[in-house]
Structure 1
């Protein structure tokens, strides 16, 4: 190919490499690894794929420790003192927002080589307190006095309003685990994983998690609610990032890539926490009618299905190798995990040409992206 890929221009942002750590359960295999130490090996694995210098490192992170973990991780990765870094917080969408921020830099001509993604380490997050000594759990998502539900009860409310049954949620969760276990055993995750010490594989996927077994779990958030510990995501440690270059550099490198076709970031009432992806998907330009792959963060089975139903996306086609219910939801990294998964499915494994990555985020936010393979 001598010109830009189909539907692209010379300055179209293109992912040319994508890696992630194994995803661990908080307090589990990665419990002693700080957020910068999670991100550093991923950045180091990607740095040589850009075909030039690293212009910036952008990482999403939600729960700290502060101090610009993106910069610390870049230094720990050996990228050099001259490589800056910026930490992005759009809650659960932070990793995808970091990738879109890097893409904007490429379109503006500010740089031609970015590493972008996210990292989260709930296991090593500092304990915080308010001035009166009470334990700080999370920041408010809405002004004082406005509805500001916690995520679990909000997911139950969303599922009930959408008319989703517990049986459907458990079937969705069981399928996520089955697909992730099959992908592990088949080696489909191998090329995207960067080991962290002796940790080589994702910790959370469970074999033989059938709908019948999941039906035994009790409601986790509200009396009589439809969400349980088994059909909701976990609290997880992990990091993920991509190498992003303009299309002209991808052509120089002579490698296939995943080109960003369009993106949309939208909001909805914070009281409708979990539904932000619906307006984002509706606003997505050039959205493929029948994408070959859809990656959507499964924070809660009912919340995910409510968004997918509203957007007209068949839930059976989502997360073909398992999603966050099975793999985990390392908040600041999760949006980047979606793009890593798309890249390896579509580009590395050659299983399709078009894809969507989207998720909802705390505060009533949503981010949606559309991608196409270029060769």
Structure 2
């Protein structure tokens, strides 16, 4: 257990120095808000016990500390105590590092991606950890030995976090259907894209299971959008910056539905790390640009980004066969397929990002 070495009060702040030499500065309002006594915090629900409007404007009255803890007596006589381990969580470096994803970038085939039998994944904590760790690391995982039915596929999807309902329903199948105005329901090749770029909240995971194919072709093709974005940042930094800031508008109209949303093609999180890729060249809506240079920057940057995404050396191509489910992170991995003949039926669904990351947290793989 870590220990407190010294505490120095400076106006409305406390500088707490720990035994390893690290010093963290805490504001008085933060300390009072994060008091963990039973009046301020419900330990059973892990929730604060008061509304922020009820947070009093108080100041330090007395400060006491020893190696094992800090005690603050406030000017309204409320007493708050804090352990070193609790306080140390909020060192900015420790806090950010513990919450930052650490994706492993890839190009081409990735042998390290998890391949776990369905019964092991569903019934074993160790098996589940392997699948979710693979999704966190590479954005991909395979669940094998699944009966080639939509019902058996659904069992696996629920173990991945549950079913995200969309205009396509919950579980769905994709097969060639003449007259349907969506290229997914044709037998032509599909280039790399993320799904639901026109949605306010795109799918978190996408799940594919080939239930049947009596023809040739139809290989799945995937690529790492984070790898492509990093290449763009290295070789065309001005284009990377543009795509992280400019809202690319996407639209999708299908079966009486009309979706439209604008967001950066490359989204960064609060730490400046890659968070999400939204890229579907065919769902791009017409855009009215304010300036000619903005228009030219848009086309230049989108083309340069697409070159890495469509580079065959950056893609992994494989044939999905009945019995094997592919799950991938739609915030990161782009997907497509080669053209095919015959009847090819893909069953699957979407899983909300909130739900699959909840599973990963419950397995203590991330915070």
Greater share of strand residues, 1 or 2? 2
Larger Rg: 2
Q: TM-score, normalised by structure 1?
A: 0.22
Greater share of helix residues, 1 or 2? 1
Q: TM-score, normalised by structure 2?
A: 0.23
Greater relative contact order: 1 or 2 (C-alpha under 8 angstroms, separation 6 or more)? 1
